[in-house]
Amino acid sequence: MLAHVDMDAFYAAVEVLDRPELAGAPVIVGGGARGVVSAASYPARAFGVRSAMPLFEARRRCPQGIFVPVRMERYRQMSRRVMEVLGGFSPLLEQVSVDEAYLDLRGTPVLKAGPAAAGAAIKEAVATATGLTCSVGLAPLRYLAKIASDRDKPDGLTVVADVEAFLATVTLKEVPGCGAKARERLGALGLGRLIELRALGRERLERLLGAFGLRLWDLAHGRDPAGVELEREIKSVSHEETFARDIADRAALAAHLLNLAEKVSRRLRRYGLAGRTVTLKLRHQDFRLVTRRQSLPQPSDVTQEIYQAARELLVAYAPRGPFRLIGLAVSGLEPAGGGQGGLFDRQEQAKAQALGRAEDLVCQRFGQDALRRAGGLAVLGQDTPTGHDEVGKK
């Protein structure tokens, strides 16, 4: 039996925990006038406010909302406490984000009293240790545990005792990874529930949706080989900033890009990784999002090399803007130090890596802004942008 544990409106719940006077209020977590909603309490969701919604739209829908800035370090602190509690129930714990995790409960003492009692025990332990509620789904299959945890939010508990009976109730919208385009194509055939895909046939489903069609075929028949993975491969490291005011000036954009390169390269070094592919992200004034990619000669965790590639992409992008967001990602990751190159190249890269490690030590001791490259100082006098970092995992 697998359990999926999902904290309820996690960021907003932590804010209410720290400020009890906000209990019952429409709390919306997000930074800056131009940013997006990071989390919304359930009273705020009643007004149609959702994560990733532009803050101006959230203010339009919920003018009485209480808007608070993102406090990522506080959320990470609470996340660590939650995961410590969950780890006490099973050593087979897979954290998939800051506020959700899978547990393999097979053979654990907590399951002896039955799945429902196990779920209740998990919820009680999390609430006692953190003061926060979570929703728990238990099922023999990973994707069904995920769906089950969403069924009774907030503070819910759903147990899938009969897989076939539960499958008959699952809509395509509930299926992890089944996006709007796939649902639209299937909906055109009159298909809205997962179990209905059985009638379509495996080959036709593959022709319609490719490899994902085969995945859906298995899910429709209650087959999912995925279990709980103790370690998940990091696929990319990224950081982005939403500006307080739209920016068209390329020099200012390059300065922001250099600051992003510093953040991304530090995190790569923290994970002991280097990347080969640099991706530039730009969001236009009209919210149109574009990405451009470039491959490095060899994997790198060096700020200047990552920045140089990203800057070339910025220079090559012809539309003038203005832009409301800029982002930088590095993918194609592998353990640092594994790249090939000539003797001179390796010596130069070793110097750059040593400089980066020294920089990391200074920033760890005195804060992330203790050292800044001169090229990034041009934006210090501007309105503070809203930042968002991310680690993409398999």
pLDDT in tens, 35-58: 789 999 999 999 999 988 989 999
Active site residue 390: no
Domain of 169, in residue numbers: 165-220
Judge if 210 and 289 occupy the same domain. Answer: no
Judge if 302 and 369 occupy the same domain. Answer: yes
User: Which residue type, as a one-letter code, is found at position 330?
Assistant: V
Which pTM does this prediction carry? 0.68
Judge if 189 and 297 occupy the same domain. Answer: no
Mean of the pLDDT values across residues 360-381? 50
Judge if 179 and 300 occupy the same domain. Answer: no
Of the three residues 72, 87, 105, the one that is the final residue of a domain is: 72
In the set 94, 100, 240, 359, the catalytic residue is 100
Order of all β-strands in the sheet with 234-247: 289-300, 273-284, 323-335, 234-247, 386-393
Residue 364 located in a structural domain: yes
Q: Which residue has the higher pLDDT, 156 or 244?
A: 156
User: Which residue type, as a one-letter code, is found at position 105?
Assistant: L
Residue 109 located in a structural domain: no
Q: Which residue has the higher pLDDT, 14 or 34?
A: 14
CATH number at residue 40: 3.40.1170.60
Q: What is the structure's pLDDT at 370?
A: 46
Residue 101 located in a structural domain: no
Q: What is the structure's pLDDT at 248?
A: 92
Judge if 188 and 299 occupy the same domain. Answer: no
Count of domains forming the chain: 3
Of the three residues 48, 72, 96, the one that is the final residue of a domain is: 72
pLDDT band at 179 (very low <50, low <70, confident <90, very high): confident
Judge if 239 and 351 occupy the same domain. Answer: yes
Judge if 176 and 255 occupy the same domain. Answer: no
Residue 111 located in a structural domain: no
Instruction: Label residue 44 exposed, middle or buried (CB < 10 Å: 0-12, 13-18, 19+).
Output: buried
Query: Which ranges in the chain belong to alpha helices (H)?
Result: 10-18, 42-45, 55-61, 72-87, 115-130, 142-151, 163-167, 180-187, 202-209, 211-220, 250-271, 303-316, 343-366
Q: What is the structure's pLDDT at 377?
A: 44
CATH number at residue 275: 3.30.1490.100
Q: Tens of pLDDT along 200-211? A: 889 999 998 898
Judge if 256 and 388 occupy the same domain. Answer: yes
Judge if 192 and 295 occupy the same domain. Answer: no
Q: What is the structure's pLDDT at 338?
A: 57
Mean of the pLDDT values across residues 343-363? 57
Instruction: Label residue 220 exposed, middle or buried (CB < 10 Å: 0-12, 13-18, 19+).
Output: buried
Percent of the chain with pLDDT over 70: 83
Q: Tens of pLDDT along 244-286? A: 789 999 999 999 999 999 989 988 888 888 999 999 999 998 8
Judge if 196 and 342 occupy the same domain. Answer: no
Q: Is the pLDDT of residue 346 over 70?
A: no
Residue 366 located in a structural domain: yes
Residue 188 located in a structural domain: yes
> Cβ neighbours of residue 80 under 8 Å, at least 6 residues apart?
none
**How many Å apart are CA 159 and CA 352, to the nearest integer?**
53
Judge if 202 and 283 occupy the same domain. Answer: no
Residue 213 located in a structural domain: yes
What's the whole-number average pLDDT of the chain?
A: 86
**How many Å apart are CA 56 and CA 26, to the nearest integer?**
15
Mean of the pLDDT values across residues 85-97? 90
Q: What is the structure's pLDDT at 339?
A: 52
Of the three residues 30, 45, 72, the one that is the final residue of a domain is: 72
Judge if 193 and 278 occupy the same domain. Answer: no
> Among 299-303, 314-318, 356-360, which is the least confidently predicted range?
356-360
